[in-house]
Amino acid sequence: MTDLNELTLAQARDGLARGDFTSVELTAACIAAVEAARPLNAFITETPEKALAMAKASDERRASGTVGLMEGLPLGIKDLFCTEGVLTTAASHILDGFHPPYESSVTTRLWSEGAVMLGKLNMDEFAMGSSNETSYYGNVVNPWVPEGDNRRYVPGGSSGGSAAAVAARAVLAATGTDTGGSIRQPAAFAGIVGAKPTYGRCSRFGIVAFASSLDQAGPMTRDVRDAAIMLRAMAGFDPKDSTSVDMAVPDFETALDGDVRGLKIGVPAEYRVDGMPAEIERLWHQGEAWLKDAGAEIVPISLPHTKYALPTYYIVAPAEASSNLARYDGMRYGLRVPGKDLVETYEGTRAAGFGAEVQRRIMIGTYVLSAGYYDAYYLKAQKVRTLILRDFQQAFQGVDAILTPTAPSAAFAFGEKSGDPVAMYLNDVFTVPASLAGLPGMSVPAGLSATGMPMGLQVLAPAFDEMTMFRVGAALERAAGFDARPAKWWVS
Amino acid sequence: MSLDRDTVRRVAKLARISVNEDRLDDLGHDLNRILGFVEHLDEVDVSGVQPMTSVASQTLRWREDRVTDGGYPEKVTGNAPAADHDFFAVPRVVE
């Protein structure tokens, strides 16, 4: 029999239902895999005792006939979600020792559906990064390594710990959050599925805020079905989040017949960017061919403002971050570095508590919002954002979904891009536009690069049409038949 | 537009982040690199375009103005670096 930690959510759900094993047995297998995977540094906090207690409670619920959507399934939680009584750091020094007195709404939903928490996953500090090199708790290592290469590779970011833990088969699935690509890009780099739903689907309550008009939670899983199962459990209206949408959550699993006959799939000309590796371009064409073979119609489309999405994002997101992160002043929680007066205490605390990338973004945000520059930067960016949304709205009048690569390259080695902030930002060139427009998007592992590293294809759908996103994602998954696994070099 | 040392110092002050003099040039370089990148937006004609305020084109909900939570100051101050009698304790701000 396969090791229990190797199962998908759906396989584990069905095995638990048949009584083949208990949640305690499944959870124990995952705890062992989490320990074995420590060289990846995917976790900031492991919670094995809590996991076993939750698993035992789940087995008891099942015995009494109560079975939630995620009953008994062990997950990792990105350390951006507040978890009551469990250290929550956003991978920042400034949240030292923070034990939230409350639980995020998304995790509350997961626990009430029976899920089990294995621990809190490493990430880029405050979700600012695309390579998981900005965490105060150190880099997360991608389980994937090109054969014969003795360097280590980044898992993408910001949900790098989530991606690595799922790919390493340490957790069955994990939560992620996506502000400009932080679910989809690491999913592509780690050969897993990552889905960002429409803005407003998942409550932001209790998720440490980065850029509030962009932040969305979503599932990171081993296959498309698991993403559908988990998103259903995470999504839903929450009065505690003013931008949460009061709309029924469909059973996304019913979209997974992979029948895309008659669907029109848009392929945007503007996503063919300069310097894109030929293998990414080939994978994209392969994706078109797969969907065409499955009965979809491929339609060339234009999203003319695509090249302005990243510059827009790097005004809007830092501006919102500079406001959101003003709360870290050393007074109510986390780190305090005492100075000779209040202002010096603020300044010293924030200088010591925030890492270099977070400081850069706060300062950019402060600058673009400062007197005299607001109109030139922030207001202008919000207007361009309207144009980017309009591009998508026009495109979706003629197509049902859009197909693009997820990232402009496969995973890169540590240090390759960390010297230049703008080179790092370019990783998110294909994911940021949909974030700015609030649209659902998912990455599906679709092939391997010449060096054997995973690459993903992205499916975008109209707002609140995750069903079509999953339908197309399932068709891609079926055609790609991606079953490659990283060699378990980290197990000694 | 390019940030000089004085501007970097002023922005750091506004952001309440202390920056050593010897870091001003490096930080200015990084910030200028980012600002140079975002200035591509100058090419876009946005005349007559409304700025986006929400992707979901929804209005904020009303709710009844009543207390829905609270009554546990010890939990609220439980994470404070310094707390006293259910209050956050902060450095002296008035002489």
> What's the Cα-to-Cα distance from A294 to each of A106, A282, A393, A395, A468, rounded to whole Å?
35, 18, 25, 22, 15
Q: Examine the residue annotation and report whether A64 is marked as an active-site residue of this protein.
A: no
CB atoms B61 and A347 under 8 Å: no
Residue B29 buriedness (CB in 10 A; 0-12 / 13-18 / 19+)? exposed
Confidence of residue A50 (pLDDT cuts 50, 70, 90): very high
pLDDT of residue B57: 67
Average pLDDT taken over every residue of chain A: 96
DSSP states of A178-201: ESSSTTHHHHHHHTSEEEE--TTS
Mean of pLDDT values over B56-70: 85
pLDDT of residue A177: 98
pLDDT of residue A424: 85
The number of beta carbons lying within 10 Å of the beta carbon of residue A108 is 20
For B45, name the nearest residue in chain A, comparing CA atoms only.
A384
pLDDT of residue A288: 98
Nearest to A294 by CA among A483, A481, A485: A481
Contact partners, residue B77, CB within 8 Å, separation at least 6 = A332, B83, B86, B87, B88
pLDDT of residue B61: 86
Instruction: Considering the candidates A182, A203, A409, A418, report the single residue annotated as catalytic.
Output: A182
Asked whether residue B1 carries a pLDDT value surpassing 60, the answer given is: no
Asked whether residue A260 carries a pLDDT value surpassing 90, the answer given is: yes
Model pLDDT for residues A69-96, shown as the tens digit of each residue? 999 999 999 999 999 999 999 999 999 9
pLDDT of residue A450: 94
* Token pair 């005004």: residue: A315
Q: Using CB atoms, which residue from B30, B58, B91 is nearest to A342?
A: B91
Cα Rg for chain B, rounded, in angstroms?
22
In this prediction the pTM is: 0.97
Mean of pLDDT values over A46-61: 98
Please tell me whether residue B20 adopts helix, strand or coil conformation.
Answer: coil
Confidence of residue B63 (pLDDT cuts 50, 70, 90): confident
pLDDT of residue A328: 98
Which of A93, A244, A335, A383 would you mutate first to test chain B, the one with the most B CBs within 10 A? A383
Mean of pLDDT values over A402-431: 91
Asked whether residue B59 carries a pLDDT value surpassing 90, the answer given is: no
Which of B3, B5, B17, B86 would you mutate first to test chain A, the one with the most A CBs within 10 A? B17
pLDDT of residue B55: 85
Token pair listed for A135: 């965490």
pLDDT of residue A244: 94
For chain B, how many helices (H) and strands (E)?
A: 3, 2
Confidence of residue A273 (pLDDT cuts 50, 70, 90): confident
Q: Using CB atoms, which residue from B53, B63, B79 is nearest to A99?
A: B79
CB atoms B55 and A347 under 8 Å: no
Nearest to A311 by CA among A428, A225, A412, A211: A428
Confidence of residue A371 (pLDDT cuts 50, 70, 90): confident
pLDDT of residue A257: 87
pLDDT of residue A1: 55
Q: Examine the residue annotation and report whether A435 is marked as an active-site residue of this protein.
A: no
Counting other chains too, the contacts that B16-20 makes at CB distance below 8 Å and 24 or more residues apart are: B16/A326, B16/A329, B16/A343, B16/A346, B16/A347, B16/A350, B17/A347, B17/A350, B17/A351, B17/A354, B17/A359, B17/A362, B17/A363, B18/A344, B18/A347, B18/A348, B18/A350, B18/A351, B19/A351
Residues of A in contact with B17 (CB under 8 A): 347, 350-351, 354, 359, 362-363
Confidence of residue A149 (pLDDT cuts 50, 70, 90): very high
Pairing relation of β-strands A401-405 and A297-301? unpaired
Model pLDDT for residues A338-351, shown as the tens digit of each residue? 999 999 999 999 99
Q: Using CB atoms, which residue from A101, A311, A366 is nearest to B41?
A: A311
Amino acid at site A476: L
Rounded-to-integer distance, Cα B21 and Cα A271, Å:
42
